[in-house]
Structure 1
């Protein structure tokens, strides 16, 4: 065939082939090599070789913009057919039935050896070879297990579960009628500061501190207090509301007990304007804070009672008296008119029997009966006049033991009026006993007789500090004496004061002042011991020293006259001011000498004193203060 004819035939065959491929090109865009300008050959299909599973049919090539992306694989690509030069293609040659597929030969992945330090001891064994994966990816247990997380335990603070109940019952539970509004508010504030958590209970009842407080309240009678004043609340351990209320009430009772133990049961100033001790009543805040932080809350509560030896002896005597019942026959004496010496009455034999005078048919109220009755009245704190009055008759109707208990309790109450700390060194003036003592480190180093105020001008009861002494003092007549004695005398005789050695001066307000200059006749003697106070009383010397020899020495206008005052001065002024040096100052001008340091002084009213041997000594209730205290306690009960 000639070359021209062959070229035409080849062109026609190529055109026919191109026309036959047009439908396919319409579906798949032809990619052109940008450098050579010739169409790129169609990429062969890729197939994965799997030695264990038959090859899956080849997936069609993804079109541009398909919904999903083809999976990406890695490995060595081996071509199933090689690219051919288009110029060498024979247009008349028959087309190949199937092209050789392209396969991926993926080698096994070598994993690095496991670090033994990262493998737990319990798992330090040789790992088994991994099995070929035949399905979807499985979760792989990590070589190093995660650390164990600590258990989270939510602990509720102790008592917090009672907070709501405590807050609800606070106002009602603190409402004890003998607690002031201030004390109630302090108790409420203490709970609020504690987040309304209870102080004395746990989930089952009283905690250890609560039990000790309860026990001390139950022993109140041992200190002369009434257990009925501190009624303990009842509750069920399963009732949180009752438990919370009991906790609050116990706090209120503890505060009340502490106040009573310090002398808060009665107000001494209401008994008499001459009884003016300074009470050291603890606040509710102080009581609760001390109890809550104490190892032994019961002991702390008991310590609010007086620590003084005189009080402790009375307490022991009270226990002793209650252990021994009174075997004196109790005689019922009918009511009737008062009986006096020499009167005749059918009740006289009964009175004699009650007083232990023995049987008698005589109905005359004779001297022996009157004296025995006066002795009974003295012990009972009544006016010892020997007259069978209504009050004496009522006292005779009580057993001797009960009457003795009341006296002891009333005396214990007056000890509560003293400061808890009397002072290592102090002066004690027992007014009913009419004696003064100087105590140093618990031992009496000096004591002497005194003269006290008359019943109508009683010596006041209080504590203070002595700070100076005046030698050669002047005496300024107090207003009470000026009004009763000097003004009437001056009205009758203008020289009334001058004749007695007094100096009268006019004051700015138009009144007068009467002064007795220092001297042998001065009412204060040569020396006076000063402790400035609201009653303007002090200890001093006296020119009438013979009066100390008498048994009844209630003779002054209220001040306390001291026997041998210069011996007392030796004790309070120290070694610098000796007895001889002080006496050399007598007769000169008024001289003030300050004490080296203030010395506590206590004017007390002890009508019942228990000695170290347990013996009871009673002194006259000269002002009736003992009777006032006993009656006040009875009425309050």
Structure 2
């Protein structure tokens, strides 16, 4: 019989080695499965636990594995600590020459944990968890109150749904840690933003619209949490008013339409709270336009603030001057505030006198009149408050409403690809300017609409092409309000004026004037399609350009030098074509010619009754449409605040009623007018989309004003 005990012992050793390897692999697999089911937060905690340094031992040999180790391995914990497994696993599979150092093992473990957090978040479909903010123990109660406040009463402090949602998300990402206060005191960030809010008057805004809480007076966590949200709300109010205005343009008139540019509250919160200069970041929401900056500087001059010295009158008893009466002498009170009062009211005589005399009382009375206070001549509490408020008079009010109107304009007036080129027309100044590279390229006089229903609208649109030899299609308002009544008096009036009378398929009347020297639109029309159906054009009636006030049209804008205007615009959009006024005039004839712009040019129609001219002088113009009066009233009325929800509701009507034509009036044809040919309303208004370059075609029907 063969002795197999020796071979058996060798086979047993092999089985023991295989069993040990299997146990090690099973433990590692169990760990991997456990880690995969753990949350990102658990893995992040593990990553923060110090990793023990691996023992520098050689890998185990077969001799180290004894028979009794197999049961021990089988009863080992199924899920040992992750750190221990991470450290031991390399030792079990690598030789001495490739074993990492202790520091390298730590770094590897941390990186592995971070990647595990990211992978876990990716699998769950969520964004990586934000870095938690360590909230000091003194601020923890405030954070808890802030969480409750946002969950319950936030609507009272943040009445706009979008802003409230942005604020809730912002604070949730911070674990509701307070931003504006720390340990009950205002943070440097809060002080920077507060300084900007208190200086709102310099931007033409009202500081009273942006109340600043007193963190020092907030002695409880609930009061600090409420102060936190109040400052956040004031900051968002400031940014919104600075960018879009305190009032919506539709509250002023229905014939105003500018592109909306509301703030993004989440972006405001991010920009201001992460900026190196929070005050400057908040101020950046004011218009970046030179027109605005120039008016802001003049506002400071009008208020006497350009020198940087502001005189403040202190509180005290009411001061009153009683004039002499019969046998009673005049009563003049003495007070240490009188010298400051004399300086504030520009009284140079007896500048250091403490006496509240007749001259001081008269100056106080005049000041009270300028700010709509009772003209008593008594220096009472209301008068002191008005004296310490930003200076206000009629000129200042006009500057303020003009700054407000500039907030409605686009942040960039021109088109960048053309050197920021644009057209700007100021209605009350009756001037048009072509601007490029922040400089005036060309200017001319214009005639604008009459006050009332023919007022020229305020708008921003893009000029797409020019029409040479345009056909004038008389707008319905002129047909039914002017021409049909004239036909009642003289059935031949249209023929004598060179107008064509036609009836549309729907029974309405269409009147047009073919191209020519006597056309009401002159030789050129500048097209920028808009809802108000207005445009700029030439005119055969040139004498009106000699007037100082030139509000005579039905809403469109007549240009004094259209050939030069056309050449200027064409040379900006097509510089290689080298258009000249002579070349434009060479196109005059009986057929329409369209000159399309490869890149449309923005047209901004504004209403600036106060502006700074090229010489740096503040200019004022007559408020021909009464826009200033409406806006001043709105600014002084609490209803003038937060009007961004207002929408225009009184739009012009372009309906064409049926009308009876007097007997004896001849139509130019027996069929429907070309205006009823099936073209859309705007195709008939501004013509069919033109082809690039000069084209000629038969006259078409376009409604004009």
Q: Shorter-chain TM-score: which interval?
A: 0.5 to 0.7
Determine which of 414, 420, 432 is the counterpart of 1:436.
432
In structure 1, what is the equivalent of residue 564 of structure 2? 567
Following superposition, the deviation at residue 173 of structure 1 comes to 4.5
**Where in structure 2 are the equivalents of 1:287-302 lying within 5 Å?**
287-302=268-283
- Contact 1:205 1:243 survives alignment (8 Å): no
In structure 2, what is the equivalent of residue 185 of structure 1? 165
Distance 1:533 1:232 in 2: 43
TM-score after normalising by structure 1: 0.61
Determine which of 519, 522, 544 is the counterpart of 1:522.
519
Distance 1:595 1:209 in 2: 49
Distance 1:299 1:181 in 2: 27
Determine which of 157, 170, 184 is the counterpart of 2:134.
157
Gaps of 5+ in 1: 1-116, 119-146, 327-379, 381-397
Distance 2:270 2:279 in 1: 14
- Contact 1:174 1:187 survives alignment (8 Å): no
Following superposition, the deviation at residue 621 of structure 1 comes to 0.8
TM-score after normalising by structure 2: 0.55
Give the number of the structure whose alpha-carbon radius of gyration is greater: 1
In structure 2, what is the equivalent of residue 608 of structure 1? 610
Determine which of 165, 189, 192 is the counterpart of 1:209.
189
Following superposition, the deviation at residue 505 of structure 1 comes to 2.5
Distance 2:424 2:392 in 1: 30
Deviations 1:221-248 (A, max 9, x none): 1111111111112234763333322222
In structure 1, what is the equivalent of residue 396 of structure 2? 405
Deviations 1:454-513 (A, max 9, x none): 113111111111111111111111121112112223445554423321122322322122
Deviations 1:527-569 (A, max 9, x none): 0111111111111100011221111211111111011111111
- Contact 2:291 2:611 survives alignment (8 Å): yes
What RMSD, in angstroms, separates the aligned Cα atoms of the two structures?
A: 3.1
- The answer as to 2:507 corresponding to 1:510 is yes
- Contact 2:211 2:231 survives alignment (8 Å): no
In structure 2, what is the equivalent of residue 625 of structure 1? 627
Distance 2:451 2:157 in 1: 39
Distance 1:322 1:549 in 2: 36
In structure 2, what is the equivalent of residue 587 of structure 1? 589
CA 1:238–1:551 in 2, change beyond 3 Å: closer, same or farther? closer
Distance 2:392 2:143 in 1: 49
In structure 2, what is the equivalent of residue 67 of structure 1? none
- Contact 1:174 1:252 survives alignment (8 Å): no
Distance 2:536 2:467 in 1: 11
Gaps of 5+ in 2: 1-55, 58-101, 107-130, 312-369, 371-385, 415-419, 641-705
CA 1:549–1:201 in 2, change beyond 3 Å: closer, same or farther? same
**Where in structure 2 are the equivalents of 1:51-62 lying within 5 Å?**
none
- Contact 1:230 1:257 survives alignment (8 Å): yes
In structure 1, what is the equivalent of residue 471 of structure 2? 474
The farther-off stretch of 458-467 and 486-495 is 486-495
- The answer as to 2:204 corresponding to 1:224 is yes
Q: How many residues align?
A: 420
- The answer as to 2:290 corresponding to 1:309 is yes
- Contact 2:256 2:457 survives alignment (8 Å): yes
Deviations 1:437-457 (A, max 9, x none): 111111111011111111131
- Contact 2:449 2:555 survives alignment (8 Å): yes
**Where in structure 2 are the equivalents of 1:352-371 lying within 5 Å?**
none
- Contact 2:398 2:609 survives alignment (8 Å): no
In structure 2, what is the equivalent of residue 92 of structure 1? none
CA 1:158–1:597 in 2, change beyond 3 Å: closer, same or farther? farther
The secondary structure found in structure 1 opposite 2:255 is coil
- Contact 2:146 2:225 survives alignment (8 Å): yes
Following superposition, the deviation at residue 155 of structure 1 comes to 8.5
Determine which of 172, 195, 198 is the counterpart of 2:178.
198
Following superposition, the deviation at residue 250 of structure 1 comes to 1.6
